[in-house]
A and B are shown apart, each in its own frame.
Chain A
């Protein structure tokens, strides 16, 4: 079973702080990794993708990948109340029938004013 694990939270951070979200995956063959943001009652919105070891920055967001440790993280700098949402981690792998994304259950983030 190809699993993606996330702490369900809620993770509570004060406004302006750095929020750190973590994810581990079980399939060493995973090649691509994605972070989605999902507001309550809405569909997931892609915020970051990462394919290589190291850091990738986009605005206030930084994704970090460590394939040796099978670990992906998302840092949100200068957190805002509008960042309060559930963050889904996904890992992509090849299977017999094609390529599939495996999703974690998500981490709930609450940014308090």
Chain B
């Protein structure tokens, strides 16, 4: 089955700890994205990657980092510098960057206390 997987589904961390969220896709898509969703808010772009070993900051990249060492994988690290990390994190992919459809993984709900 082709698709996007994210793990874990739920994640709980103490303030001050870094945490890494996993995103894997087997759709052979070149582009991958990380979004954050807060209650009552639209999706906001954190980072995106057009190809392996390349990534660009989105609108709210501060306090986050990413890597793209493999086409299939685009992990997101939420660092202790992110002031309000509790949110629903969504990974998406598309054939390329451009006017293409983006498909979402199931999401990771992160709670930091």
Contact = CB atoms under 8 A, between A and B. Distances in A.
Interface residues of A, number: 26
A36 B98 CA distance: 18
Interface in A35-65: 36, 42-46, 49, 51
A34 interface: yes
Interface string A71-113: 0000000000000000010101000011111111110000000
B102 interface: yes
Given A51-B99, A99-B97, A43 B42 contact: no
Contacts of B48: 98, 100
Nearest to A89: B42
A43 B50 contact: no
B101 A46 contact: yes
7 contacts: A98-B48, A98-B97, A100-B58, A101-B43, A102-B42, A103-B43, A104-B42
Interface of A: 4, 8, 31-32, 34, 36, 42-46, 49, 51, 88, 90, 92, 97-106
